[in-house]
Structure 1
Amino acid sequence: MCEEQTVSLLDVLKEDEELEEEASAVLAGSDSDHCSYPQGYVQRQALYSCHTCISNGSEAAGVCLACSYKCHEGHDLFELYTKRNFRCDCGNTKFKDLQCKLVPDKDEVNTSNKYSHNFSGLYCTCRRPYPDPEDQVEDEMIQCVVCEDWFHGRHLGSLVPDCVGSQEMICESCMNQNPFLWIYADHLAAAVDHVTQDAKDVEGRGGHVGIYLPDNRTDVIESTSKRVRGEPEPNCRLEELQKISQNRTRTGAVFWPSTWRSKLCCCSSCQERLSEAQLNFLFDELDTVQAYERRGQNKDQNQGGHDPLMLALDNLNRVQQLEIIHGYNDMKSELKDFLQGFVAEGKVVTPDDIRQFFEQQQSRKRRRVDAGPF
């Protein structure tokens, strides 16, 4: 018979700390107390879509972090992670029966906001929810830096690199809508021969390998035209790359190294091209999700410091730590037994039931203290 795995208080606190760090990377970059609407179209912020307020799918709308707490508490919300250049919609004409509690006076609509099927809780080319109760395949979701949709790794049409967390991805559809991006991809990938065995296996099965741009192969593009951003450039770097671009199969998503934005040509014609395609943000290296997350983590560290519970536990001696850990495990076991009774009887657990449980715990603790030491 297999023994049940024991989880200590230290394990729980460590896991809780890791989850808080992940949350702070996204949420600490946004304001949880003040609606972001007065800031206009925020460069990047955490967003939510309220299915309770807008359920017919005819009107897409997004609300900021603060409004998700203050105006939509208890509602059915779709978490959109982060979006760029978005202004909070909470309380405008898209919400028929709701007024924003934080900023009541807002424009009727935000005409520059961009919406997608993500605002209906659907993602990827398969247009499925996430998490998907009908999908039994464990797969990572990756966000396109252009359209900002989320894609299953298996639906990208290319191999997902192991170091994907430090890279940016542009989906095949966005690449095809902006063909000049393939020129950059062709050149950066020219020095890469897809040497991994996994890539060869995919090609051998008749599949195709997406373009993978490693961080350590930037010498090719740098040698064509080195300059400091802002200085005059005699030649268009994109035109130079096009002359020596490789004939590659232009399919599948492209994974770009972390420094790829600094390699884009900044001549007047290229700036105009990106402006027409509404891709000006590609010139901004602070636009990236990684930069946003770093700001959130730094903000959280500056404000919160270390977890006081972890600090208190570190200051106890070994005997005291063991007493707390055993006490926690006992409480966990008793709470599990307590809740199983409700499951067996099909009852709903109420706040009063939980309050009664902890009152009983306190009563037992007092009886043990009154009884004296063992």
Structure 2
Amino acid sequence: MCEEATVSLADVVQEDEQLQEEASAVLAGSDSERCSYPQGYVKRQALYACNTCTPKGGQAAGVCLACSYKCHEGHQLFELYTKRNFRCDCGNGKFADAPCKLFHAKDDVNGLNKYSHNFFGEYCTCRRPYPDPEDQEDDEMIQCVLCEDWLHGRHLGCDVPDHVESWEMICEACMNTHAFLWRYAARLAGKRRENVLRDLTDPPASDPVPGAAVESDAAKETTADETDGATEPSRKRVCPEEAEAKPGCGLEALQNAGAERPGSGAVFWPPGWRSRLCRCDACQASLAAAGLSFLPDESDTVLAYEKKGRSEEGGAPGHDPLMSALDNLSRVQQLEIIHGYNDMKSELKDFLQGFVAEGKVVTSADIRQFFERQQSRKRRRADDRFHCA
């Protein structure tokens, strides 16, 4: 008979903390109480699609975090992670007889929203669900910066770099749709972080991207955690006035310099690459026409959004549901309950720390025994008070 796999309490605690941190990164940047519709097309927010209200075969629709809780509780939801420039559809003309409970005055359609097969629970070029019960291969999924679809690493047509969470990916389809990106890829994509940082802070005299901006604060913060312990040498920085003074179009200079990269496979871009895109008037107009005005914006990145979410969650005071229930009790009752509650928390913590220290697994019998001891102690205290009258 095969042994049942077990984990230690320390493993459970560590996994729980990681899950809480990930949830804070994604969800804390979005409002869980108020529908985001009044904010218009939100720069970036956590989104969901409701398969119960808008199933495949109908119109695609997305709902904000608050509506997923308040309006679609108990429904089958597809988690879309985060998407940019989206306005909550909940309760609009796509939802028939299911109005939004949080905000009623909504247009029938949000014409600027962009939809994909993700809104019907399908991902990647293989159009499979996630998680996929039929896929036995251990493979991570990575989101494209442009189309925001999630693709399996094995379907990208290129190698996935180490520490991929600090890189941004543009899928092959989007690269080919916006072919000018291949010129930038020849210069920036696939470089080690320190080489890109060197280009950002100390461009060579033959720098073929004269219209690019210098590294932004957001890029510096993003790259600070990826130094692998190495100390970057101090370098002379180019001030914004000098950067703006450089004539010509950086993209055109790349073309004239013969910058080229084979147009196949997804492309991974290192931290800081967005600030190397040309900012001349012609390039900005081209980006706007292609719906890519967000691309040079370092704060558009998912990493920037997650950092904001962690910061907001970390600064929020802790909420204890028991404390909220004490408002209607007398001061004496409040103190008795608070003391009892804190004693129980302290004892449970000490009890569990023993298992952590010894690397033991906590069983349901152990927990049951702990609370039975608590109940026995409570009965003894009650009996003592009764007999001492």
Query: So what's the TM-score if we normalise by structure 1?
Result: 0.77
Distance 1:164 1:98, change over 3 A: same
Alignment-derived partner of residue 266 in structure 1: 279
Tell whether 2:201 aligns with 1:173.
no
Distance 1:90 1:6, change over 3 A: closer
Q: Deviations over 1:256-310 (max 9, x none)?
A: 01100100001111111111111100121110000000000000011046999xx
Match of 1:333 among 339, 364, 382: 364
Across the aligned residues of Structure 1 and Structure 2, the Cα RMSD in angstroms comes to 3.1
Alignment-derived partner of residue 332 in structure 2: none
| Residues 213 and 255 in structure 1, CA contact (< 8 A), matched pair in contact too | no
Matching residue's letter, 2:91: G
Aligned-partner Cα distance in 2 for 1:30–1:247: 40
Alignment-derived partner of residue 195 in structure 1: none
The gaps in structure 1 that reach 5 residues or longer are 190-211, 337-357
| Residues 60 and 120 in structure 1, CA contact (< 8 A), matched pair in contact too | yes
Alignment-derived partner of residue 98 in structure 1: 98
Tell whether 2:87 aligns with 1:87.
yes
Distance 1:56 1:251, change over 3 A: closer
| Residues 187 and 246 in structure 1, CA contact (< 8 A), matched pair in contact too | yes
Q: How does 1:300-315 map to 2 (within 5 A)?
A: 300-304=313-317
| TM-superposed deviation, 1:186 | 1.1
Alignment-derived partner of residue 148 in structure 1: 148
Alignment-derived partner of residue 121 in structure 1: 121
Alignment-derived partner of residue 222 in structure 2: none
Alignment-derived partner of residue 216 in structure 2: none
Tell whether 2:287 aligns with 1:282.
no
Distance 1:321 1:220, change over 3 A: closer
SS at match of 1:134: coil
Alignment-derived partner of residue 39 in structure 2: 39
Aligned-partner Cα distance in 2 for 1:54–1:3: 41
| Residues 33 and 66 in structure 1, CA contact (< 8 A), matched pair in contact too | yes
How many positions carry a matched residue from both structures? 321
Match of 2:264 among 248, 251, 260: 251
Alignment-derived partner of residue 216 in structure 1: 194
Alignment-derived partner of residue 204 in structure 1: none
Alignment-derived partner of residue 199 in structure 1: none
| TM-superposed deviation, 1:67 | 0.2
SS at match of 2:188: helix
Distance 1:24 1:233, change over 3 A: same
Distance 1:113 1:371, change over 3 A: same
Distance 1:305 1:361, change over 3 A: closer
Alignment-derived partner of residue 5 in structure 1: 6
Aligned-partner Cα distance in 1 for 2:19–2:38: 30
| Residues 60 and 119 in structure 2, CA contact (< 8 A), matched pair in contact too | yes
Distance 1:121 1:39, change over 3 A: same
Distance 1:330 1:41, change over 3 A: same
Q: Deviations over 1:28-80 (max 9, x none)?
A: 00000000000000000000000001124320000000000000001000000
Aligned-partner Cα distance in 1 for 2:24–2:156: 28
Q: How does 1:157-196 map to 2 (within 5 A)?
A: 157-188=157-188
Aligned-partner Cα distance in 2 for 1:6–1:178: 48
SS at match of 2:94: coil
| Residues 183 and 251 in structure 2, CA contact (< 8 A), matched pair in contact too | yes
Identity %: 56
| Residues 182 and 260 in structure 2, CA contact (< 8 A), matched pair in contact too | no
| Residues 187 and 244 in structure 1, CA contact (< 8 A), matched pair in contact too | no
| Residues 185 and 261 in structure 2, CA contact (< 8 A), matched pair in contact too | no
Alignment-derived partner of residue 66 in structure 1: 66
SS at match of 1:48: strand
Distance 1:183 1:31, change over 3 A: same
Aligned-partner Cα distance in 1 for 2:379–2:14: 33
Distance 1:321 1:119, change over 3 A: closer
Distance 1:306 1:63, change over 3 A: closer
Q: Deviations over 1:235-265 (max 9, x none)?
A: 1111111122344321100000110010000
Alignment-derived partner of residue 76 in structure 1: 76
The gaps in structure 2 that reach 5 residues or longer are 214-239, 322-341, 382-389
Distance 1:367 1:282, change over 3 A: same
Matching residue's letter, 2:194: N
Query: So what's the TM-score if we normalise by structure 2?
Result: 0.75
Matching residue's letter, 2:193: D
Alignment-derived partner of residue 206 in structure 1: none
| TM-superposed deviation, 1:173 | 0.4
Aligned-partner Cα distance in 1 for 2:155–2:20: 30
| TM-superposed deviation, 1:105 | 1.2
Tell whether 2:379 aligns with 1:366.
no
